[in-house]
């Protein structure tokens, strides 16, 4: 990322007063973003730990409970997010090359992918709600959707399913807001993004992280092997 | 160090450059944010102390004095929550770290000033939610919020208070990110890693612990909130959930959080010891690396809070062993500070008194930690007043003493005013004695078996004498906290103006005017010297000259005062 030279002094966004030069400012932003992503890893990490523990305790029930999830929709969403990861990478690349049209197109596709993901997720959630597979006193009121799993352990599974995918969906929503703000800056030809690719890079880093979480969530939630 | 152009004659500084409340509430200046934090943490500390006073008053009689049992539960829970989450975790990093970390490394500000301001607003939002929960019915179950009590049974304001703690967690995280980026990227030319003041090392290590630990406890507490609000069952044993899992996740943060509270205190003490012993700290590298070692090991010892929580014996042995290892880097620090004092030209000014008190109190706190870290004694001592005494020696005797030491040390720099040194010295002694009188009897009464968090002890009236001693001591301690509030505020009104470097200390913060200008440095310094670069010969001569001047002031008639002072010094020097 340091390969992009800053030829002239004017060739960058505004330099804030606390920084000596634009390299220091950009380095700080990048280090700050990575540090933030570390906190995000720890944030999701606790949930993955809980998942690991309970799955190892209730393997068969979780397997039976997970069969109710729609693998096709999950796989579709995975592909959608992978495409969005690609387009956001192209957007960063285009930002470095100052190709505004390409940046706008790719950020646009990324935002569209994020919306598609959420819409599919909404369909999945509503199906689970209809089948009474959401945590609470009425959980498992339609027993045939439990596939014979112990209702209590299945409730733990769906508790984590909603907890983890819900937290992930929240990150997607935040991503849409941030990507839209970035799109707006490019649309209005603001110097802060046109002359400096770092803001685009930061949003890209965040979006890759959100995708990466889903890359772990999809196999863990949808693709359990049958326990022996 | 290539220092600043001579402090400008102009009177513009960070306090008076911009006026009006709005200029404070929307500031990006790390120094102003530190002042906002100083005011807020003092406020929360006061509330926590009031709760502490109520606990102490209640325990003077074996059957209680005024509080109902239910109220007592809420009072000690409030004390713990307020002190831990709104004072100890926050105070030193957010006040002194915020104010001095950028100055010490030669930067104009934090890397992300707006994020820094956001952290204060998050802190206040979380603090207000916590207070709202406490005023509007209170919260019980203690500051640890163990499940399933907190998630399934407690009918107090757990949800509101936990939401507040969750938000304060993000305030910590933003501060941590700022410290890490600032230390990595904002150091002045020549300010290498091993020229960093140990205060900066301590805050860097603290920031690492913050960003690794805080998110885990944040999500854990959020799960409890969700369990209460939306029946999301994670720790619910009725459904096969594991309530002890909460304890694992909670202590995965909350043990390292102990180091979030004490590492910045170590940083302050290193500064005080070096600057008042007028020597480079003995074993600078060892202290720096022991800070990182504590931060690292701190993540591997959480199980020692759970020796009796159904964890396996072998797990207990491993956690016990690693807990013992933490004693090594901690002892390195204590020994190195002590070695720094050896044959040093020690100046017993008020900040130094706090620092010396810290070394003693922290050593007691740390060593009793070993008692609790060994499984055999821990079974006997778990959840007794011995534990209470242990962590108060570390948290109050350590962190709070260091906070006061730092406050006295940097007060002239932060405000530009000198306080009444005589009162300050007396106060350091009051705090030390009051503290020991409060908490040492708790070791004994805990050893005798008095459980923590109990309201009554009428079946064991022999505990009363210790509790009365404790309450008496807490009165002195209260005076020791109120007195600085009095003489420090008084110094703001009519204190003498402080020079740029009233202590003759080393460090970039002492090379700029008191109070510093808004941009800290008129030009970014270039650092050429090692840190704490005291030259013994110069120090000795300066000291002699200073004492001769003081002597001449006291005895204007005596002509040979200079020689007399010098010979006295030589006699007393060894």
Q: How far is A102 from chain B (nearest CA, A)?
A: 30
Rounded distance between C-alpha atoms, residue B254 and residue A91, angstroms: 41
CA gyration radius, chain A: 21
* CB count in 10 Å sphere of residue B128: 12
Phi, psi of B391 (to 5 degrees): -80, -20
- Residue range(s) defining the domain that contains residue A113: 71-129+157-222
What DSSP string describes B405-462?
HHHHHHHHHHHSB---HHHHHHHHHHHHHHHHHHHHHHHHHHHTTPBTT-S--TT-GG
Minimum-distance CB partner of B108 among A17, A31, A36? A17
- Burial per residue of B75-99, b for 16 or more beta-carbon CB atoms within 10 angstroms, e otherwise: bbbbbbbbbbbbbbbbbbbbbbbbb
Rounded distance between C-alpha atoms, residue B264 and residue B179, angstroms: 12
Identify the closest residue of chain B to A52 by CA–CA distance: B245
Average pLDDT per consecutive 10 residues, chain B (574 residues; last block may be shorter): 52 88 93 97 97 96 91 95 96 96 95 96 97 93 91 91 96 97 96 96 97 95 94 90 93 94 96 94 95 95 91 92 94 96 92 97 95 92 95 96 97 96 96 97 96 92 95 96 96 93 92 93 90 82 79 63 47 42
The helix, strand and coil proportions of chain B, stated in percent and rounded to the nearest 5, come to 70, 0, 30
Q: In this structure, is residue A9 part of a structural domain?
A: no
Q: How far is A171 from chain B (nearest CA, A)?
A: 14
Q: In this structure, is residue A151 part of a structural domain?
A: no
Confirm if A156 and A134 have CB atoms less than 8 A apart: no
User: By CB neighbour count within 10 A (0-12 exposed, 13-18 middle, 19+ buried), where does B11 fall?
Assistant: exposed
Minimum-distance CB partner of A153 among B110, B215, B240? B240
User: By CB neighbour count within 10 A (0-12 exposed, 13-18 middle, 19+ buried), where does A31 fall?
Assistant: middle
Q: In this structure, is residue A98 part of a structural domain?
A: yes
- Give the per-residue pLDDT at B244: 93
Confirm if A143 and A68 have CB atoms less than 8 A apart: no
Rounded distance between C-alpha atoms, residue B172 and residue B178, angstroms: 10
* CB count in 10 Å sphere of residue B229: 10
Q: In this structure, is residue A55 part of a structural domain?
A: no
**CATH assignment at residue A164:** 1.20.120.80
- Give the per-residue pLDDT at A8: 42
Q: How far is A133 from chain B (nearest CA, A)?
A: 12
SS3 B18: coil
Q: How far is A154 from chain B (nearest CA, A)?
A: 9
Q: In this structure, is residue A213 part of a structural domain?
A: yes
What is the DSSP secondary structure assignment for residue B342, as one 8-state letter? Answer: T
A→B contacts (Cβ < 8 Å), by residue, are: 16-20, 24, 27-28, 31-32, 35-36, 38-40, 42-47, 49-50, 53-54, 57-58, 135-137, 150, 152-153, 155-156, 159-160, 162-163
- Give the per-residue pLDDT at A141: 85
Q: How many structural domains does chain A have? A: 1
Confirm if B167 and B126 have CB atoms less than 8 A apart: yes
Minimum-distance CB partner of B177 among A35, A58, A162? A35
Fold of B21-534: Cytochrome C Oxidase; Chain A (1.20.210)
- Give the per-residue pLDDT at B310: 83
Minimum-distance CB partner of B232 among A31, A38, A162? A162
Confirm if A67 and A147 have CB atoms less than 8 A apart: yes
Q: How far is A42 from chain B (nearest CA, A)?
A: 6
ipTM associated with this complex? 0.91
Rounded distance between C-alpha atoms, residue A54 and residue A50, angstroms: 6
What tokens does B436 get? 């020991």
SS3 A157: helix
Q: Which residues of B touch A152 (CB under 8 A)?
A: 238-240
CA distances from B502 to B267, B408, B498, B505 (A): 20, 12, 6, 8
Q: What CA dihedral angle connects B16, B19, B24 and B26, to 10 degrees?
A: -130
Q: In this structure, is residue A202 part of a structural domain?
A: yes
What tokens does B173 get? 């995280």
Q: Which helix (H) or strand (E) holds B152?
A: none
Nearest to A172 by CA among A100, A102, A122, A105: A122
Confirm if B65 and B237 have CB atoms less than 8 A apart: no
The structural domains of chain B, with segments of one domain joined by +, span 21-534, 539-574
Phi-psi region of A136 (alpha: psi -120 to 50; beta: other; left: phi over 0): left
Q: Measured in whole angstroms, how far is the alpha carbon of residue B384 from the centre of its chain? A: 24
* CB count in 10 Å sphere of residue B152: 16
- The answer for residues whose C-beta is within 8 angstroms of residue B171's C-beta and 6 or more apart is B90, B119, B120, B122, B123, B126
Identify the closest residue of chain B to A137 by CA–CA distance: B231
Entry pTM: 0.92
- Give the per-residue pLDDT at A5: 39
What tokens does B197 get? 């003041």
Q: In this structure, is residue A51 part of a structural domain?
A: no
Residues of chain A with pLDDT under 70: 1-13
């Amino acid at each position: 990322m340091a390969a992009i030279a800053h030829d002239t002094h004017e060739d960058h966004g505004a330099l804030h007063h606390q920084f000596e030069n634009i390299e220091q400012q950009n380095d700080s932003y990048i280090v700050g973003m990575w540090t933030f992503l570390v906190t995000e890893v720890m944030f999701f990490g606790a949930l993955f730990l809980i998942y690991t523990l309970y799955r190892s305790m209730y393997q068969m029930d979780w397997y039976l409970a997970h069969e109710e999830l729609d693998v096709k929709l999950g796989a579709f969403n995975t592909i959608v997010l992978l495409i969005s990861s690609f387009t956001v990478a192209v957007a960063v690349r285009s930002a470095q090359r100052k190709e505004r049209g390409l940046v706008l197109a790719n950020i646009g596709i990324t935002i569209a992918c994020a919306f598609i993901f959420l819409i599919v997720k909404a369909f999945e959630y509503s199906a689970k709600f209809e089948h009474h597979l959401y945590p609470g006193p009425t959980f498992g009121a339609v027993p045939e959707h439990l596939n014979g799993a112990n209702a209590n352990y299945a409730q733990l599974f769906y508790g984590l399913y909603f907890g983890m995918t819900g937290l992930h969906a929240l990150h997607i929503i935040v991503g849409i807001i941030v990507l839209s703000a970035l799109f707006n800056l490019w649309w209005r030809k603001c110097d802060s993004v046109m002359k400096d690719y770092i803001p685009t890079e930061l949003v890209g880093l965040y979006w890759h992280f959100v995708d990466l979480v889903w890359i772990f969530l999809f196999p863990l939630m949808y693709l359990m092997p049958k326990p022996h | 160090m290539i220092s600043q152009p001579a402090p400008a004659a102009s009177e513009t500084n960070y306090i008076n450059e911009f006026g009006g409340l709005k200029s404070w509430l929307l500031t990006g200046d790390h120094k102003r944010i530190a002042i906002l934090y100083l005011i807020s943490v003092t406020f929360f500390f006061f509330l926590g102390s009031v709760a502490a006073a109520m606990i102490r008053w209640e325990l003077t009689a074996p059957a209680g004095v005024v509080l109902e049992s239910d109220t007592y539960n809420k009072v000690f829970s409030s004390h713990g929550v307020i002190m831990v989450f709104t004072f100890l975790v926050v105070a030193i990093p957010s006040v002194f770290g915020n104010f001095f970390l950028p100055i010490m490394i030669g930067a104009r500000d934090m890397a992300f000033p707006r994020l820094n301001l956001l952290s204060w607003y998050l802190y206040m939002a979380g603090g207000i939610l916590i207070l709202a929960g406490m005023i509007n019915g209170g919260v019980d179950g203690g500051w640890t919020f163990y499940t399933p009590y907190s998630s399934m049974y407690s009918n107090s304001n757990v949800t509101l208070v936990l939401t507040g703690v969750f938000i304060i967690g993000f305030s910590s995280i933003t501060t941590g990110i700022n410290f890490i980026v600032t230390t990595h990227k904002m150091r002045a030319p020549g300010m290498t890693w091993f020229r960093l003041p140990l205060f900066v090392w301590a805050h860097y290590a603290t920031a690492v612990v913050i960003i690794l630990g805080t998110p885990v406890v944040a999500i854990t507490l959020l799960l409890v909130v969700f369990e209460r609000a939306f029946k999301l069952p994670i720790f619910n044993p009725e459904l096969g959930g594991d309530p002890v899992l909460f304890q694992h996740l909670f202590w995965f943060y909350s043990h390292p959080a102990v180091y979030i509270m004490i590492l910045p205190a170590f940083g302050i003490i290193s500064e005080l010891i070096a600057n008042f012993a007028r020597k480079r700290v003995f074993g600078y590298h060892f202290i720096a690396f022991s800070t990182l070692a504590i931060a690292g090991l701190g993540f591997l010892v959480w199980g020692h809070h759970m020796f009796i929580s159904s964890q396996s014996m072998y797990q207990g042995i491993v956690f016990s062993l690693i807990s013992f290892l933490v004693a090594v880097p901690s002892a390195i620090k204590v020994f190195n500070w002590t070695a720094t004092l050896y044959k040093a030209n020690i100046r017993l000014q008020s900040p130094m008194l706090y620092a010396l008190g810290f070394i003693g109190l922290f050593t007691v706190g740390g060593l009793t930690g070993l008692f609790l870290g060994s499984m055999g004694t821990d079974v006997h001592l778990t959840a007794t007043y011995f534990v209470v005494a242990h962590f108060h020696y570390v948290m109050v005797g350590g962190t709070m003493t260091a906070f006061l030491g730092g406050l006295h040390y940097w007060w002239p720099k932060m405000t530009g005013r000198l306080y009444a040194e005589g009162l300050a010295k007396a106060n350091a002694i009051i705090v030390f004695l009051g503290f020991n009188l409060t908490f040492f009897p708790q070791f004994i009464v805990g050893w005798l078996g008095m459980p923590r968090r109990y309201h009554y002890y009428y079946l064991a009236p022999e505990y009363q004498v210790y509790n009365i001693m404790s309450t008496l001591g807490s009165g002195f301690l209260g005076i020791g906290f109120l007195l600085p509030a009095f003489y420090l505020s008084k110094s703001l009104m009519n204190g003498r103006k402080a020079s740029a470097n009233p202590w003759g200390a080393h460090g970039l913060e002492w090379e700029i005017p008191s109070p510093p200008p808004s941009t800290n440095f008129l030009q970014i310094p270039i650092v050429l010297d090692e840190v704490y670069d005291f030259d013994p010969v110069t120090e000795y001569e300066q000291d002699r000259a200073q004492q001769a001047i003081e002597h001449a002031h006291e005895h204007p008639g005596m002509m040979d005062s200079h020689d007399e002072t010098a010979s006295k010094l030589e006699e007393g020097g060894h």
